[in-house]
């Protein structure tokens, strides 16, 4: 098992207004982070997602890391 230091997603996730309307995607592809996360949430394994979309295992893990960083910055507000 590899141990990653730093922020893997910074090298693998890009946001370009010209690609998928500025949604975060895997660098060099048109595969959006939200599709990767949805596939994982739907029960696919990391390896299955990588194979399905022609990306690497590390790309899938970077998408998870990216989403975790976004969620960590959210403010939690009480709902009435």
Tens digit of pLDDT for each residue in 37-48?
A: 999 999 999 999
What does the angle CA 12 – CA 59 – CA 10 come to, to the nearest 5 degrees?
A: 25
- Whole-structure pTM value: 0.82
Q: Specify the 3-state DSSP secondary structure of 13.
A: strand
Largest CA distance in the chain: 44
Query: Which position has the token pair 């998870």?
Result: 64
| pLDDT > 60? residue 1 | no
| pLDDT > 60? residue 61 | yes
What does the angle CA 37 – CA 42 – CA 60 come to, to the nearest 5 degrees?
A: 30
Does domain 9-72 fall under CATH 1.10.10.10? My reply is yes
Domain locations along the chain: 9-72
Tens digit of pLDDT for each residue in 15-55?
A: 999 999 999 999 999 999 999 999 999 999 999 999 999 99
């Amino acid at each position: 098992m590899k141990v990653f230091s730093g922020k893997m997603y910074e090298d693998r996730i890009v946001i370009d207004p010209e690609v998928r309307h500025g949604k975060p995607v895997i660098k060099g592809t048109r595969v959006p982070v939200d599709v990767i996360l949805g596939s994982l949430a739907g029960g696919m394994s990391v390896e299955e997602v990588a194979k399905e979309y022609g990306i690497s295992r590390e790309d899938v893990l970077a998408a998870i890391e990216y989403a975790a960083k976004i969620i960590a910055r959210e403010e939690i507000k009480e709902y009435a």
